[in-house]
């Protein structure tokens, strides 16, 4: 089955770009930032506690540690932390949210700061596109949408600020929409599919981001479950789940970038396939850039015979 899928995907990739897709593929290997860190499970901790303690997303921590029971991990167990990232293939400006990755990048600092986020579910997906930060509010009241009140008729029309308000203490509107980036009263929801389309952050992190983000700040929401990076000549692939099922042929979709760059011969396709299967959410080495061809006109690359 795996071999057949590989052949089918490669056959698609051998078509001209216009036949394989109407969208121009990205053609960049992006920088990699951060390093994988480790921590020890403390008594009575779950991976929810580990994620919160390091301000990471629960699903990201859980996927990187598939052999660790997320609910009853053995105290003293070493847990890897997803703190190494291929940057999204975007213009490095303002705020960027990679929806399937469930992370927000603040490119106004170098290196960019990274925030774990909760996103919308399949029924109420988060937005995609380029916007500007609109109206901002501290201690917002939640005007419960009609659709949510139909699901939960016990909710009032308006939930005032306080511990029962799912918007938390800060709200930043995405453009002129009804969606926003906000805090939470349920910290365990961060790094999960848990909202009706909004972007939810840890409380202390939305407070910090709120203070330094003026209205009009550029924000881009993208959908990149496959991110390609390079470091020291090595090619890396970072894979996240296709949460909204927008990339049905995952191998063909994942290989668009190396195909556009002419790098397919440089890849270990079995390593690519394993990365796609595991979805570890961190950069995985899958190939190496070709060695540069010596320039015969460069005196430093040519030798002069001696007698």
Q: Which residues are catalytic?
A: 182, 198
Burial class (CB in 10 A: 0-12, 13-18, 19+), 54: middle
Max intra-chain CA distance, the chain: 95
CA–CA separation, 8 vs 252, rounded Å?
8
Q: What ranges make up the beta strands (E) of the chain?
A: 32-34, 37-40, 78-81, 84-86, 95-98, 103-106, 113-116, 119-120, 129-138, 142-143, 158-159, 170-174, 180-182, 193-195, 199-200, 218-222, 226-231, 234-239, 284-288
What 3-state class would DSSP assign to 185? coil
Contact 238, 102 (CB under 8 A): no
Q: What residues does 230 pair with on adjacent strands?
A: 235
- Phi first, then psi, for residue 141 (nearest 5°) are -80, 150
Strands 180-182 and 199-200: parallel
CA–CA separation, 44 vs 164, rounded Å?
26
């Amino acid at each position: 089955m795996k071999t057949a899928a590989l052949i089918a995907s490669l056959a698609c990739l051998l078509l001209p770009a216009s036949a394989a897709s109407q969208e121009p593929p990205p053609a960049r290997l992006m920088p990699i930032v951060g390093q994988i860190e480790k921590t020890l499970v403390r008594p009575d901790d779950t991976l929810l506690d580990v994620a919160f303690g390091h301000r990471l997303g629960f699903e990201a921590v859980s996927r990187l540690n598939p052999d660790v029971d997320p609910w009853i991990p053995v105290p003293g167990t070493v847990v890897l932390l997803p703190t190494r990232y291929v940057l999204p293939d975007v213009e490095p400006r303002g705020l960027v949210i990679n929806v399937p990755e469930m992370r927000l990048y603040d490119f106004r600092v170098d290196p960019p700061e990274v925030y774990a986020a909760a996103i919308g579910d399949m029924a109420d997906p988060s937005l995609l596109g380029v916007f500007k930060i609109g109206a901002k509010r501290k201690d917002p009241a939640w005007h419960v949408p009609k659709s949510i009140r139909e699901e939960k008729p016990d909710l009032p029309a308006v939930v005032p600020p306080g511990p029962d308000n799912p918007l938390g203490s800060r709200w930043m509107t995405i453009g002129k929409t009804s969606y926003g980036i906000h805090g939470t009263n349920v910290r365990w929801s961060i790094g999960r599919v848990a909202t009706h389309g909004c972007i939810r952050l840890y409380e202390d992190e939305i407070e910090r981001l709120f203070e330094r983000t003026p209205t009009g700040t550029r924000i881009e929401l993208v959908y990149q479950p496959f991110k390609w990076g390079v470091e020291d000549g090595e090619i890396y692939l970072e894979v996240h789940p296709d949460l909204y099922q927008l990339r049905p042929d995952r191998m063909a979709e994942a290989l668009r970038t190396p195909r556009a760059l002419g790098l397919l011969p440089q890849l270990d396709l079995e390593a690519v396939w394993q990365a796609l299967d595991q979805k570890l959410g961190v950069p995985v080495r899958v190939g190496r850039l070709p060695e540069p061809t010596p320039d015969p006109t460069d005196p430093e690359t040519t030798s002069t015979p001696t007698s």
